Amino acid sequence: MNKQLNSLYKKSLEFTDIPNDLFRKYDVKKGLRNEDGTGVRVGLTKIADVVGYKYVEEVKRDAQGQLFYRGIELRDIIHGRDWNRPYGYEEVCFLLLFGYLPNGEELQTFVKILQDHYELPGDFLETKFLHMPGKNLMNRLQQAVLALYDYDDAPDDISVENTLEQGLNILAKLPSIICYAYQSKMHYYHKESLVIHQCQKNMSIAENILYMSRGDHSFTHQEALVLDMMLIVHADHGGGNNSTFTNVVISSTGTDFYSSMVGAIGALKGPRHGGANLKVSGMMKAVIDEIGYCENEVEIKALIYRIMHKQFYDYSGLVYGMGHAIYTLSDPRSEVLQEHIAKLAQEKGKEKEYAFYQRFEQCAKEVILDVKGINVSSNVDFYSGFVYQMLGIPEDMYTPLFVLARTIGWLAHNIENKLYDGRIMRPATKYVGSTKEYKKMEER
Ligand SMILES: CC(=O)SCCNC(=O)CCNC(=O)[C@H](O)C(C)(C)COP(=O)(O)OP(=O)(O)OC[C@H]1O[C@@H](n2cnc3c(N)ncnc32)[C@H](O)[C@@H]1OP(=O)(O)O
Ligand SMILES: O=C([O-])CC(=O)C(=O)O
């Protein structure tokens, strides 16, 4: 930091300090949380339900996690899906948006609508990626989504019907946007050969991502199904998660959908939210560099204590991929992923790494319980990067793929809010400063 600016900043703390006890005094819900850690209720939804605790005789008790999309449990969707068909994510998009499971014809119509919007505008690849490569894909995604505004004939039409079309158009274009943002970065910043494959109209979203991100554009049916499942488990998480809430807060001003999307992407980038998948990858690499695939729990825990005490990795004190604002004993998505990882790890010769991830997770639960006194489990981000790694998907794409999957959730909540709430979000803050007189310069 600039020295003079730093000294001004330090001096300012004498004038700007807010003592912590005032938050309690004025009953401020820090982080929009109630006293027992549950979220302050800010809306009603029929899209998804996230269950992580139960009340027994009015006392909050930790519980096994459950996630419902339009009332159907995620585990049932994953176990019940047809593993021969690659359009599982598209089916879930339909379910989240329209509230019911599509029949064959409806799904076909919906998939066709998406496929008809896959292609980017003619000059987009050249002007938005090849001429403007970016070092961070999440920022590039924001710029690309915002740029689509200029290609829209009615960008500021915020009617529900138009929002639906805009949202699906963005979703359909995200596979190309993510892959081109990645390829242009690798070419410009890492001097690698430029790989550009056109998206394929007859493929699913998951298939297109694999097709466009790989040099030889080849992939197996099994790989596409695993990626399709990854998109399903990330598709929605109720109206209270930070990025979905951000999208609705922005939209409540009556602004365009592109602005809401860009805000939500910025929120999801954060390492305490969707950006955790990238952080887990970095953390686990640092851990394995430090202690190898250690089998000694005491040694693993010692390192986790160092992470918690801000002495290792990024010094934030956070064990990434662990803990959740709602889930306590388990995150059902992490369990669903683990059901598939065992087989995948065997196929890819990654059993040793997987076994270490599991040992680390168990140790982290115990250390966090010891230090913070709370039950935590691995969240969706703990194993997702490991799955992507086994699919050969580069780290740069981990959080952007979360954006792609969650776009449907953002869109569904945006529309639900427009239909059934629609009031500008405007909470309050309490002024706790004093009043003073303005002093002329010569009197200061
Ligand atoms: C898609 C998603 O967004 S899933 C979440 C992805 N994020 C991560 O994996 C980052 C690591 N995890 C975390 O930071 C937290 O668990 C969050 C942000 C997910 C939830 O935060 P909160 O709702 O505040 O958690 P909770 O109320 O249970 O936390 C209680 C205390 O334990 C701490 N804690 C919770 N999880 C962790 C963790 N993984 N590592 C270290 N400390 C933790 C909190 O910081 C808090 O500490 P404090 O009392 O000193 O402020
Ligand atoms: O619900 C939350 O707080 C975070 C989130 O989006 C998720 O876990 O998918």
Q: Closest by alpha carbon to 205, among 185, 225, 187?
A: 225
Nearest to 380 by CA among 241, 262, 245, 261: 241
Cβ–Cβ < 8 Å for 384, 336:
no
Strand (E) or helix (H) holding 67:
strand 59-69
> Does ligand 2 lie within 6 Å of residue 413's CB atom?
no
Q: Is the CB of 283 under 6 A from ligand 1?
A: no
Ligand 2 pocket, 241 CB below 6 A? Answer: yes
Residue 38 CA from chain centroid, whole number:
20
Angle at which helix 332-347 crosses helix 221-233, to 10 degrees, equals 160
Classify residue 110 by its DSSP letter.
H
Q: Which ligand is nearest to the CA of 67?
A: 2
Buried b (16+ CB within 10 A) or exposed e, 249-264: bbbbeeebbbbbbbbb
> Could you tell me the strand order of the sheet in which 59-69 lies?
48-56, 59-69, 72-73
- Residue 198 φ/ψ, nearest 5 degrees: -75, 145
Q: State the Cα–Cα distance between residues 154 and 149, nearest whole angstrom.
A: 9
CB of 25 within 8 A of CB of 429?
A: no
Longest dimension (CA), the chain: 80
Is the CB of residue 220 less than 8 Å from the CB of residue 392?
A: no
Please name every residue paired with 68 in a beta bridge, in sequence order, or none if there are none: 49, 73
CA distances from 55 to 44, 58, 61, 327, 374 (A): 19, 5, 6, 14, 17
- List the structure tokens of 115: 């496929």
Residue with tokens 């008790």: 61
217 has catalytic annotation? no
Mutate to test the pocket of ligand 2, among 40, 242, 265 (most ligand atoms within 8 A of CB): 242
Interface predicted TM-score (ipTM) over 0.95: yes
Which ligand has an atom closest to residue 361 CA? 1
C-alpha pair distances (Å), 179 with each of 137, 154, 200, 326, 400: 9, 27, 13, 33, 10
Q: What letter does residue 127 receive in the DSSP assignment?
A: I
Is 247 near ligand 2, meaning CB less than 6 Å away?
no
Has 289 been annotated as catalytic?
no
Do residues 273 and 264 make contact, with C-beta atoms less than 8 angstroms apart? Answer: no
Pair 160, 214: CB distance under 8 Å: no
Say yes or no: CB of residue 173 within 6 Å of ligand 2. Answer: no
Please identify which residue in the block is written with the tokens 């792609």.
404
Distance CA 305, CA 312 (A): 9
- Domains of the chain with bracketed CATH: 65-270+394-420 (1.10.580.10), 276-390 (1.10.230.10)
Return d(Cα 73, Cα 50) in angstroms, integer.
Answer: 10
Identify the burial level of 154 via C-beta atoms within 10 angstroms of its C-beta, where 0-12 means exposed, 13-18 middle and 19 or more buried. Answer: exposed
Q: Tell whether ligand 2 has an atom less than 6 A from the beta carbon of residue 377.
A: no
Residue 174 to residue 71: CA distance in whole angstroms: 27
**Dihedral angle computed from the Cα positions of residues 414, 418, 422 and 428, in that order, rounded to the nearest 10 degrees:** 0
Considering the entire predicted model, what is its pTM? 0.97
Describe the crossing of helices 276-291 and 297-308 by its angle, rounded to 10 degrees: 130
**Tens digit of pLDDT at every position of the chain (444 positions):** 999 999 999 999 999 999 999 999 999 999 999 999 999 999 999 999 999 999 999 899 999 999 999 999 999 999 998 878 889 999 999 999 999 999 999 999 999 999 999 999 999 999 999 999 999 999 999 999 999 999 999 999 999 999 999 999 999 999 999 999 999 999 999 999 999 999 999 999 999 999 999 999 999 999 999 999 999 999 999 999 999 999 999 999 999 999 999 999 999 999 999 999 999 999 999 999 999 999 999 999 999 999 999 999 999 999 999 999 999 999 999 999 999 999 899 999 999 999 999 999 999 999 999 999 999 999 999 999 999 999 999 999 999 999 999 999 999 999 999 999 999 999 999 999 999 999 999 999
Q: Give the distance (Å) from ligand 2 centre to CA of residue 273.
A: 7
Residue of 96, 245, 324, 399 to mutate, ligand 2, most atoms within 8 A of C-beta: 324
